[in-house]
Structure 1
Amino acid sequence: MKAEEKTFFGHPWGLATLFGTEMWERFSFYGMRAVLAAFLMAPAVRNGLGLPEATAFAIVGVYQGMVYLTALPGGWLADRVLGARRAVLLGGVIIMSGHISMAIPVRSPVFVYLGLLLIVSGTGLLKPNVSGMVGYLYREDQDARRDSGFSLFYMGINIGALAGISLTPVLAGDRNWHLAFGSAAVGMALGLIWYTLGKRSLHGAGERVPQPLSAEERRGAVKWVLVGLVTLAVLAALLAVTGLFTEDGVTWTVTAIIALITIFYLSYIMHGGHGITPLERRRFGAYIYLFFAAVIFWMIFDLAPGPVTDFAMKSVDLTFFGFTIPAGWTQNFNSLFVIVFSPVFAAIWLTRWGSRVSAPLKFTFALFMAGLSFVVLATAANVASGGVRVSILWLMVMYLMQTVGELTLSPVGLSVSTKLAPHHFKGQILGVWFLAAALGDAIGGQTYRLTGFLSLTQYYLVLGGVALAAGLILLMFVRRLKALMGDEDVAPGQALTH
């Protein structure tokens, strides 16, 4: 880097370009998500879709799951067809189009569902590849600077999330949903403008297609795309013929598809004919235990925009330092805690204590935090069942516990993924890790149906109990998993918002 070149807190100015792009994309993603469930449940007189709570929360869960699922094909398209730079630009345009579709103020839900589908597709292209481009800004021998750069980049994620969640509930009120969706479109547009203006600062990062498809591979890819489209068309026709082409029918089907894809892909890595060695198979077998622990963690953690915010709206005294805040703002507790505690956890992982505590034990702790957070929420729900609104401090404690779990599991999960991935799957492992969030979110979205025969207190206790039981089971296998993984310490990277 030339001495006279403009820098961003001592880093290449290209980091500022990617920081701003991701910040505005997260602004749009979290801003829209903050009001999505409320919009889906709001009656027609308040310009909503009037869906039952369980259906609305299932849609939110499946939407979140699909966002993380598409990171896998999005990364593949960048590596083999588009290059990271074009993938990010195209993804941003598709995301913005999705938010515009949702902002169209019509009664029909068609534009809403089209918008969600576009946002899912665009995020799959943008999210994994904008992160990958950060790494391209540094030389191979600049590990320390690269880690520091990622810390700044992930700060942008949390700033964007904080801003989006702060703005859209205010704009939406109890009926102006399309105005909130429009603000998400504006946010993504600003991100695209910033990205385009900063093109030169990237100095070619992400321009090259790392492994272009051969002519034969292109024909094979086209064939599989056509097979996939035909399969989806047949599946949609079957749902229509059987009367299941409804919101509930589609969410159950998509959840099943995500589960099948996850099982198939993990099985393929373990047993496919791609030269995996016995040592790699053993180590990846240990990883699968941690993978499903992460599924349970994200199942609980990503209920924030659905059942948790709904509880805040109906049963929490939303007075905060003398001001009454929108229920959607309570989701900001997580972002605030991440910003405050990320440096603390990054420092802990560099100490002797951080290196001596194994990855399985850290995952166990994260599951305990998730489980206990819902025990806290169940206690609050039990108090509120008497008809009183509970203090907002209940939610603050719950989010604090979940954030501690997130900062324990998320960066360690990324690190252990790169450590335990078989050689031929090193480049795809980020997509594999996102599958855990995809499956957890999709299953979590369906769990509110349990309230058909459980009280709200029992519902939160059941989910908390599942996480605690999973933590206890994992704790029993810690020694075995350490042996399967090998004796090397896992040194996690910087913490990030999932």
Structure 2
Amino acid sequence: MSKLTKQEIVDSVPQKGFFGHPKGLFTLFFTEFWERFSYYGMRAILVFYMYYEVTKGGLGLSQPLALSIMSIYGSLVYMSGIIGGWLADRIFGTSKAVFYGGILIMLGHIALAIPGSLTLFFVSMVLIVLGTGLLKPNVSSLVGDIYAKKDNRRDSGFSIFYMGINMGGFLAPLIVGEVGMKYNFHLGFGIAAVGMFLGLVLFNLTKKKNLGLAGLQPANPLNPEEKKKVYTRLGIGAFVVIVLMSVLIPLGWLTFESFILIVGILGFLIPTSYFIVMYKSSKTNDEERSRIIAYIPLFLASVMFWAIAEQGSTILALYADTRTNLNFLGIQISPAFFQSFNPLFIILLAPIFAWLWVKLGNRQPSIPRKFSLGLLFAGLSFIVILVPGYFSGTDALVSPLWLVLSIFILVLGELCLSPVGLSATTKLAPAAFSAQTMSLWFLSNAAAQALNAQIVKLYSAETEMLYFGIIGGAAIGLSLILFAVSPIISRFMKGVH
């Protein structure tokens, strides 16, 4: 089969059928809805599962270690997207990557649902990390594939898709969180597994009719000789890793702490290497190289944003559990409950932002300026959360409304940055690295959480105000710098708006 052109792929997809958008958006919307339901459901209770005592059904790890592992887990989940993007681009295409990834995620949640030990916990980590790496960047890349390059619906389509992500994220803590915290952690993880199964069924039943030719071919396929070399190297690499782990762990050289440090370094080393490879590739033309240069400051802004946003499942989860008055208006609130507010606000506000970008048309802020607004709101969300500590002290329980307000402000920033970043990535990506550039976008989240694995250790009741103040202030400062240099970045984007 000859290589399909972008237009041939777009023509094979029914262009109307889901709120004025291509019909394939329905398939991708609900596939990602169920994947995010399973992931955010698991994430809503995972940190509590790690640091709660064994007598309460947890693993009994220390709080600082649980927070660091949670950050590293998130970092590895997004870091593995590079592998998933590469496999999609070079071997089996984005559609198969989504399906295979969903199977691994489901198996990972099943492993968590089995009462056991740290061993099963780490088995589940490996499965979910690899599965999300295959599914997450490639389902987003498929969204870009169903629109023509200059289709004005693209940003709006990504906002709708982003709403699907957050519908799953909203329901998951309410259902999985409630069951996991009130009854049994493992039962909660089992519900997450069922969610991923439903997503796989829906994807398989609707992809042929709704997605047409999208995702069927790898963008830059390996020839048979190259495939043979890759499989050989992968086999050797896996063998070396297993041997090293079997030697280093018993000797005490590979510990939680050293592993966290290694992942932290890789979180920044891998994206740096990828930028260099893409820039120097013979398959990247001069216009695409200019766009890669423009993408770098956007990537760094995204790292700063997610370094704050991803603390919702670590520092703010701990804050909800230990610093917040969970008895509100006579109702006992679960600490996992607060993780539903972020997606709830996105569900409510995403249609407004999608309408706003379409309404403004060519008058809307440039992509870099949208990013600067995202950083500004992220910084303000951390400034807000230090206020109750300033007035009441850090040893008194605070109203849950402070946490809700902080999350609301963060969501304003997220809607300026995250769906826009997904859309910008599909526009700025070199043609030969389309899926891998989407993986690079998710690496900004990996780098952010690798950074968080180190800084979350600095949080305590004594350092609370300093912690929120320094991080929030740094984000606000970077937002002002990005706003000032936005015209320069826009010139390097070569016509992408």
Determine if the TM-score, normalized by the shorter chain, exceeds 0.5.
Answer: yes
Could you tell me how far apart the structure 1 residues matched to 2:52 and 2:489 are? 47
Relative to 1, partners in 2 of residues 1:114 and 1:405: Cα closer, same or farther, differing over 3 Å?
same
Q: 1:115 aligns with which of 115, 124, 128?
A: 124
Conserved in 2, the CA contact under 8 Å of 1:137 and 1:202? no
The answer to whether the aligner puts 1:92 opposite 2:102 as a matched pair is yes
The answer to whether the aligner puts 1:213 opposite 2:222 as a matched pair is yes
How far the C-alpha of 1:436 sits from its partner, in A, is 0.8
Residue of structure 1 equivalent to 2:379: 371
Residue of structure 2 equivalent to 1:32: 42
Q: 2:295 aligns with which of 287, 298, 319?
A: 287
Conserved in 2, the CA contact under 8 Å of 1:47 and 1:175? no
| 1:167 partner SS | helix
Could you tell me how far apart the structure 1 residues matched to 2:199 and 2:421 are? 28
Please give the root-mean-square deviation of Cα atoms over the aligned residues, in Å: 3.2
Between the two proteins, the alignment pairs up a number of residues equal to 485
| 2:355 partner SS | helix
* Superposed CA offset, 1:264-322 (max 9, x none): 1122223x242545554444223212211111110110110111011011111235565
Deviates more, 1:29-38 or 1:119-128: 119-128
Deviates more, 1:86-95 or 1:73-82: 73-82
Q: Give the residue type in structure 2 aligned to 1:391.
A: S
Q: What's the TM-score, normalizing by structure 2?
A: 0.87
Residue of structure 1 equivalent to 2:388: 380
Residue of structure 1 equivalent to 2:166: 158
How far the C-alpha of 1:222 sits from its partner, in A, is 1.6
Q: Give the residue type in structure 2 aligned to 1:124.
A: G
How far the C-alpha of 1:489 sits from its partner, in A, is 6.0
1:148-227 alignment, distance < 5 Å: 150-173=158-181, 176-198=184-206, 201-202=209-210, 204-206=212-214, 208-210=216-218, 211-227=220-236
Conserved in 2, the CA contact under 8 Å of 1:375 and 1:460? yes
How far the C-alpha of 1:37 sits from its partner, in A, is 0.6
Conserved in 2, the CA contact under 8 Å of 1:136 and 1:205? no
Q: 1:249 aligns with which of 258, 266, 281?
A: 258
How far the C-alpha of 1:38 sits from its partner, in A, is 0.7
Deviates more, 1:222-231 or 1:326-335: 222-231
Relative to 1, partners in 2 of residues 1:234 and 1:368: Cα closer, same or farther, differing over 3 Å?
farther
How far the C-alpha of 1:173 sits from its partner, in A, is 2.1
How far the C-alpha of 1:476 sits from its partner, in A, is 4.3
Q: Give the residue type in structure 2 aligned to 1:109.
A: L
Could you tell me how far apart the structure 2 residues matched to 1:399 and 1:386 are? 19
Deviates more, 1:36-45 or 1:242-251: 242-251
Q: Give the residue type in structure 1 aligned to 2:71.
A: G
The answer to whether the aligner puts 1:44 opposite 2:54 as a matched pair is yes
Residue of structure 2 equivalent to 1:127: 136
Could you tell me how far apart the structure 2 residues matched to 1:337 and 1:329 are? 14
Conserved in 2, the CA contact under 8 Å of 1:57 and 1:307? yes
Conserved in 1, the CA contact under 8 Å of 2:154 and 2:423? no
Q: 1:480 aligns with which of 488, 491, 495?
A: 488
Q: 1:103 aligns with which of 101, 113, 117?
A: 113
Q: Give the residue type in structure 1 aligned to 2:386.
A: A
Deviates more, 1:82-91 or 1:149-158: 149-158
Residue of structure 2 equivalent to 1:493: none
Could you tell me how far apart the structure 2 residues matched to 1:84 and 1:341 are? 30
Conserved in 2, the CA contact under 8 Å of 1:239 and 1:249? no
Q: Give the residue type in structure 1 aligned to 2:48.
A: A
Could you tell me how far apart the structure 1 residues matched to 2:111 and 2:119 are? 9
How far the C-alpha of 1:472 sits from its partner, in A, is 3.5
| 1:316 partner SS | coil
The answer to whether the aligner puts 1:362 opposite 2:370 as a matched pair is yes
How far the C-alpha of 1:214 sits from its partner, in A, is 1.3
Could you tell me how far apart the structure 2 residues matched to 1:459 and 1:261 are? 28
| 2:115 partner SS | coil
Residue of structure 2 equivalent to 1:262: 271
The answer to whether the aligner puts 1:437 opposite 2:475 as a matched pair is no
Relative to 1, partners in 2 of residues 1:421 and 1:49: Cα closer, same or farther, differing over 3 Å?
same
Relative to 1, partners in 2 of residues 1:340 and 1:320: Cα closer, same or farther, differing over 3 Å?
farther
How far the C-alpha of 1:434 sits from its partner, in A, is 1.1
How far the C-alpha of 1:23 sits from its partner, in A, is 1.7
* Superposed CA offset, 1:410-460 (max 9, x none): 133233334444454344321121111111122123211113796122112
Residue of structure 2 equivalent to 1:302: 310
Deviates more, 1:464-473 or 1:59-68: 464-473
Conserved in 2, the CA contact under 8 Å of 1:17 and 1:201? no
Relative to 1, partners in 2 of residues 1:142 and 1:285: Cα closer, same or farther, differing over 3 Å?
closer
| 2:314 partner SS | helix
Deviates more, 1:408-417 or 1:285-294: 408-417
Gaps of 5+ in 2: 1-10
| 1:48 partner SS | coil
How far the C-alpha of 1:207 sits from its partner, in A, is 6.9
Q: Give the residue type in structure 2 aligned to 1:411.
A: P
* Superposed CA offset, 1:123-174 (max 9, x none): 1222233344455667x49946666665544332222111111112211226
Q: What's the TM-score, normalizing by structure 1?
A: 0.87
Could you tell me how far apart the structure 2 residues matched to 1:47 and 1:314 are? 18
Residue of structure 2 equivalent to 1:495: none
Gaps of 5+ in 1: 491-498
